[in-house]
Amino acid sequence: MTNADGNGFSLSRLIGSRKLGLTLQQPFYNSPRIFELDMERIHLRHWQIAGHVSRLPRAGDYFLYSLGGESVVIVRDRDGEIHALLNVCRHRGSRICLEEKGSVKRFVCPYHSWTYGLDGSLMSARHMPEGFDRAEFPLHRCHVRVVEGLIFICLSESPPPFDSLARDISTLFSPHGWPAAKTCARISHVIRANWKLVAENFFECYHCLHTHPELTSVMSYVRAGESKRFGEELDRYTSRWKRDLCRTDHDPEPFQRPAGIQQHGGRRPIRPGYLTQSRTGRPLAPLMGDYDAYDGGVSSIMFFPIHWLVAGNDYGMATRFTPLSPQETEVELTWLVHPDAVEGVDYDPDEVTWLWLKTLEEDKEICENNQAGVNSRYYRPGPYSTAEETVDRFCQWYLEELGTSSGQ
């Protein structure tokens, strides 16, 4: 796509004209054509979080995951293996699963009753001609990897490398016991903003002090970036935390990986006197995984195109972002707690979800305001601050992916 498309611009010229340190040009945030390319060249090519294994406790349990107009059936078979099957009958293409979730012994197409096993193999097809081979018509499959209880899928025939990301997630989250965890709550919001504006917002905290009073009250790092005094206080506390409190075997220093799937993360202290990320710093739920005491720290990782995970000693939270349209993005938060924790006895869902749900609601408002301004005829790319280096790197990664995928 080197010539001007139907929206009156040249994609290659837009990509080539982007200057480092500046936001993207307007069409990247609101063009229907570029949104279609984003889905084809970014989201359908890269690994995505479909959900947590706690959504599939028994054989035959399934749920649907939709991305870019495709419906994927995530299901557990009788051997405990998880499959990702395209929800498209191999007969005449009908949707097979019509409910968002359920439990089945096998999949039966509601149109002509072609029947499939939980692994997608075709078990029966009535009145087919002689020589018909069922083995040639299984349901199409997606690539699947399960890491620390998170189900990752990729719809590309040739998915990008995943091992580096899997290692980093395991390094950070293996002490937290996510594979055995139960879902405490799952809440979604549709943000009326392009997925890249949502990604940029979640990949920086330049806005946090002014937008997130709850997060600022809990996390020391928010004020540290705005004041030399607060920064020095956080440095001193972090040094003491590493020496006296951090009880994990993995390296709590932040890490960054430059190749393939971009990611960075680490483990850091919350703030003096806080055991976990709650209103008061007091425990939210029973300790999870390998922890036998609170260390007052939190693990987190972000990775492109748009993913973010976080865990304290007593809870976990996974974020799933799904682009819906040029100016709509669904954000789903899933909170995890110890598998034996009893709601109303060991934890209060409202308290477990308080911090990040409130933060999401505030992010929704500022992202929608951002989109409204970007849609203005007066919008022009603006400069990123020194606190937004990750966002600048994300934009460069995005344009490289878009250009490479188009053969430019």
Decide if 253 contacts 242 (C-beta within 8 A).
no
Residue 219 one-letter amino acid? M
pLDDT reported for residue 196: 98
In a domain, 12, yes or no: no
Structural domain total, the chain = 2
Q: Is residue 256 very low, low, confident or very high in pLDDT (cuts 50, 70, 90)?
A: low
CA distances from 241 to 213, 256, 266, 271 (A): 24, 22, 14, 10
Q: What is the mean pLDDT of residues 379-402?
A: 94
Q: Say if residue 191 is in the same domain as residue 319.
A: yes
Separation of alpha carbons 369 and 57, rounded Å:
40
In a domain, 80, yes or no: yes
Q: Say if residue 303 is in the same domain as residue 209.
A: yes
In a domain, 339, yes or no: yes
In a domain, 253, yes or no: yes
Decide if 33 contacts 5 (C-beta within 8 A).
yes
pLDDT reported for residue 259: 44
Decide if 59 contacts 118 (C-beta within 8 A).
yes
Least confident of 23-37, 233-247, 392-406: 233-247
pLDDT reported for residue 187: 97
Q: Is residue 188 very low, low, confident or very high in pLDDT (cuts 50, 70, 90)?
A: very high
How does pLDDT run across 201-227, given as a tens digit for each residue?
A: 999 999 999 999 999 999 988 887 777
**Residue 36 has which token pair?**
């279609």
Closest CA to 379 of 195, 197, 190: 197
Q: Say if residue 311 is in the same domain as residue 236.
A: yes
Helices 349-374 and 195-202: crossing angle, nearest 10°?
120
In a domain, 327, yes or no: yes
In which domain, by residue range, is 337 found?
171-392
In a domain, 398, yes or no: no
Q: What is the mean pLDDT of residues 367-375?
A: 98
pLDDT reported for residue 260: 43
Separation of alpha carbons 370 and 310, rounded Å:
25
pTM: 0.92
Q: Say if residue 207 is in the same domain as residue 287.
A: yes
Check which CATH number belongs to the domain holding 62 and give it: 2.102.10.10
The residues, any chain, with a CB within 8 Å of residue 353's CB and separated by 6 or more, are: 184, 185, 187, 333, 335
pLDDT reported for residue 293: 93
CA distances from 106 to 51, 74, 101, 128, 168 (A): 21, 13, 14, 20, 36
Q: Which phi and psi (to 5°) does residue 133 adopt?
A: -110, 110
Tell whether the model's pLDDT for residue 288 goes beyond 70.
yes
pLDDT reported for residue 2: 39
Decide if 162 contacts 289 (C-beta within 8 A).
no
In a domain, 278, yes or no: yes
3-state secondary structure of 162: coil
Tell whether the model's pLDDT for residue 244 goes beyond 80.
no
Residue 171, Cα to own-chain centre: how many angstroms?
Answer: 18
Q: Give the pairing of strands 101-103 and 150-154.
A: unpaired
**Residue 343 has which token pair?**
């709601």
Average pLDDT, the chain: 91
pLDDT reported for residue 11: 87
Separation of alpha carbons 81 and 97, rounded Å:
19
Q: Say if residue 250 is in the same domain as residue 386.
A: yes
Closest CA to 297 of 348, 257, 244: 244
The residues, any chain, with a CB within 8 Å of residue 74's CB and separated by 6 or more, are: 50, 51, 55, 56, 62, 63, 64, 65, 82, 83, 84, 151, 153
Q: Say if residue 127 is in the same domain as residue 186.
A: no
pLDDT reported for residue 7: 54
Q: Is residue 253 very low, low, confident or very high in pLDDT (cuts 50, 70, 90)?
A: low
Q: Say if residue 225 is in the same domain as residue 372.
A: yes
Euclidean distance between the first and the last CA atom of the chain, given in angstroms as a whole number: 9
How does pLDDT run across 312-330, given as a tens digit for each residue?
A: 999 999 999 999 999 999 9
Decide if 55 contacts 61 (C-beta within 8 A).
yes
Decide if 75 contacts 56 (C-beta within 8 A).
yes
Separation of alpha carbons 342 and 320, rounded Å:
25
How does pLDDT run across 92-119, given as a tens digit for each residue?
A: 999 999 999 999 999 999 999 999 999 9
Q: Say if residue 199 is in the same domain as residue 298.
A: yes
DSSP state of 18: P
Check which CATH number belongs to the domain holding 254 and give it: 3.90.380.10
Q: Say if residue 188 is in the same domain as residue 91.
A: no
Separation of alpha carbons 368 and 372, rounded Å:
6
Q: What is the mean pLDDT of residues 329-340?
A: 98
How does pLDDT run across 139-169, given as a tens digit for each residue?
A: 999 999 999 999 999 999 999 999 989 999 9
Separation of alpha carbons 348 and 276, rounded Å:
14
Separation of alpha carbons 226 and 344, rounded Å:
39
Q: Is residue 305 very low, low, confident or very high in pLDDT (cuts 50, 70, 90)?
A: very high
Q: Say if residue 109 is in the same domain as residue 59.
A: yes
Share of the chain above pLDDT 90, in %: 80
Q: What is the mean pLDDT of residues 165-181?
A: 94
In a domain, 407, yes or no: no
Q: Say if residue 255 is in the same domain as residue 339.
A: yes
Phi-psi map region of 338: left, alpha, beta (phi>0 left; psi -120 to 50 alpha):
beta
Query: Position of tokens 């107009």?
Result: 69
pLDDT reported for residue 4: 41
Higher pLDDT, 82 or 249: 82
pLDDT reported for residue 246: 64
Tell whether the model's pLDDT for residue 133 goes beyond 70.
yes
Q: Say if residue 240 is in the same domain as residue 186.
A: yes
DSSP state of 60: T
DSSP state of 104: -
Tell whether the model's pLDDT for residue 308 goes beyond 90.
yes
Closest CA to 165 of 268, 48, 84, 66: 48
